[in-house]
Chains A and B, each alone.
Chain A
Amino acid sequence: MTSRPAPCFVAAFLILWCAMGAFATSNGAWLANVPQRERERVNPYRDQPDALAAGRRIFLDHCAHCHGKDAEGTEKRPFLKSSRVQQEATDGDLHWLLVNGNRSQGMPSWVKLGDPQIWQVICSVKSLH
């Protein structure tokens, strides 16, 4: 029996390609986009010295090249000791940002690190103020 799945495959590919248009229009105001339940999430590693040390290692491995070793920011990447990150954003907000990224602004998703490492790096970032 002969089947012809190729047109369907190409059509699906083109439809998904077009969805990129919607993505391209997304803005960088990530903090306003965080759902309330995400914002209220509690960091299970908060105030744990080991988590702070582990988070510092993760930060140096994955974040420092863009944000600077002391989170001082670089030419195109933000300073992480800002009041926005240190006071306005909750741990839950930062977790949401690290999971989802802010791709239109160049921030990738770090979901591949897994939840425990994401929370650990948040401990480190929040200790910088």
Chain B
Amino acid sequence: MAKKVLTSFMRAAWARTVCAALLLVGMVLSSCLQCHAQEYPYFVTYSQEMEEPGNLDIEWFNAAGNPPGGNRFMGSDVEFEYGLKAWWTTEFYLDGQATQNDSTIFTGFRWENRFRPLAREHWINPVLYAEFEDISADKSLREIVGHDGRYDFLVPNGLAHMNKERELELKLILGSNLRGWNISENFIGEKNFAGDPWEFGYAFAASRPLQLAASAHECSFCAEKFQAGVEMYGGLGDTDGFGLRLTSQYLGPTVNWTAPNGMTVAFSPQFGLNGYSIPVLYRFSVSYEFQQFFSHFHRSGQ
């Protein structure tokens, strides 16, 4: 009986999330017939690529898992990414999560800015990243720092929600493009304003389109529409104990597909590499890019 109730709760939570996503998709498709994306299939790692100036990218990210001794969960966030300049991208996130046998809650927001300091392409291209986040009970796992681990997911939402985390996060993003491959590395430092020590983490990813040259004719499932790669990330401790001890680490393959209408769908099963990690995370995302977003309003107003 209890199992039935839990299953119906999870179904309801998923149904709500799926409805929200479908609504978003409907809004996007009804207002933008020409939206295109060229995304890398990364969930945690940032590449050196910036959003094109004037473009708005809307992405819906999800992470689902089942921590041992805890309840299944799905963390989601909706991301609005806008290219202010060719060297400056800003993003705003709204986060939420649903936990089986617990609740579905809004967990907070994040605002981040990325700056590209060098004008030209180099072997390694740095990007500076600064983010403010105001979250609690977050399960979207958009980064792993410090001693984040599976035990954090055993705390009931009601209790975890009381612990507000207002944090500054800085990243050094390094990215290279080589023979069709993108290779990206992130070094993360995060500081909680409540006075906790600096926490550190990293992320690494590499990917490549299955075919580099474009086809002469439009196609839906040709190799150029797919990108595949691998992603690895984890915590590096904090200023009181830097290193891999008592940190969670994840590794997994990742793939995305860009539909002819511009929608990009990505999926990745990611595996915990030690006992401090959640054994398996399933990540998936949907994204759309509105090209020259504000010019649509400008033209329609004329």
Chain A residues at the B interface, C-beta cutoff of 8 Å: 2-6, 9-10, 12-13, 16-17, 19-20, 23, 26, 45, 49-51, 53-55, 57-58, 61-62, 65-66, 99-109, 111-117, 120
Q: Do B116 and A3 touch across chains, with their CB atoms under 8 A apart?
A: no
Max chain B Cβ within 10 angstroms of own Cβ: one of A3, A17, A101, A108: A108
What sequence of 0s and 1s flags, for each residue 228-249 of chain B, a beta carbon within 8 Å of any chain A beta carbon?
0000000000011111000000
A61 surroundings in chain B (CB, below 8 A): 36
Q: Do A100 and B121 touch across chains, with their CB atoms under 8 A apart?
A: yes
Give the interface SS of chain A, mostly helix, strand, loop or mixed. Answer: helix
Q: Do A104 and B119 touch across chains, with their CB atoms under 8 A apart?
A: yes
CB distance from A27 to the nearest CB of B (A): 10
A57 surroundings in chain B (CB, below 8 A): 214, 216, 218
Q: Do A3 and B216 touch across chains, with their CB atoms under 8 A apart?
A: no
Range for the number of chain B residues in contact with chain A: 35 or more
With A9-B187, A103-B119 given, is the CB distance from A117 to B212 under 8 Å?
Answer: yes
**Residues of chain B from 125 to 167 with CB closer than 8 A to chain A in the complex:** 126, 128
**Which of A26, A51, A111 has a CB less than 8 Å from the CB of B119?**
A26
Q: Do A17 and B128 touch across chains, with their CB atoms under 8 A apart?
A: yes
Q: Which of chain A's residues has its CB closest to B182's CB?
A: A112
B170 surroundings in chain A (CB, below 8 A): 9-10, 13
What sequence of 0s and 1s flags, for each residue 63-76 of chain B, a beta carbon within 8 Å of any chain A beta carbon?
00000000000000
Q: Do B180 and A115 touch across chains, with their CB atoms under 8 A apart?
A: yes
Q: Do A116 and B213 touch across chains, with their CB atoms under 8 A apart?
A: yes
A-binding segment of B8-16, B49-57, B274-282: B49-57
B180 surroundings in chain A (CB, below 8 A): 114-115
What sequence of 0s and 1s flags, for each residue 157-186 of chain B, a beta carbon within 8 Å of any chain A beta carbon?
000000000000010100001001010000
With A3-B242, A20-B117 given, is the CB distance from A106 to B213 under 8 Å?
Answer: no
With A108-B52, A114-B212, A116-B214 given, is the CB distance from A9 to B115 under 8 Å?
Answer: no
With A13-B128, A117-B214 given, is the CB distance from A5 to B242 under 8 Å?
Answer: yes
C-alpha gap A20/B291 in the complex (Å):
26
With A54-B214, A112-B182, A120-B214 given, is the CB distance from A23 to B119 under 8 Å?
Answer: yes
Q: Which of chain A's residues has its CB closest to B34's CB?
A: A65
CB distance from A124 to the nearest CB of B (A): 10
**Which of A50, A53, A112 has a CB less than 8 Å from the CB of B38?**
A112
A5 surroundings in chain B (CB, below 8 A): 198, 200, 239, 242
With A50-B216, A54-B215, A117-B214 given, is the CB distance from A112 to B118 under 8 Å?
Answer: no
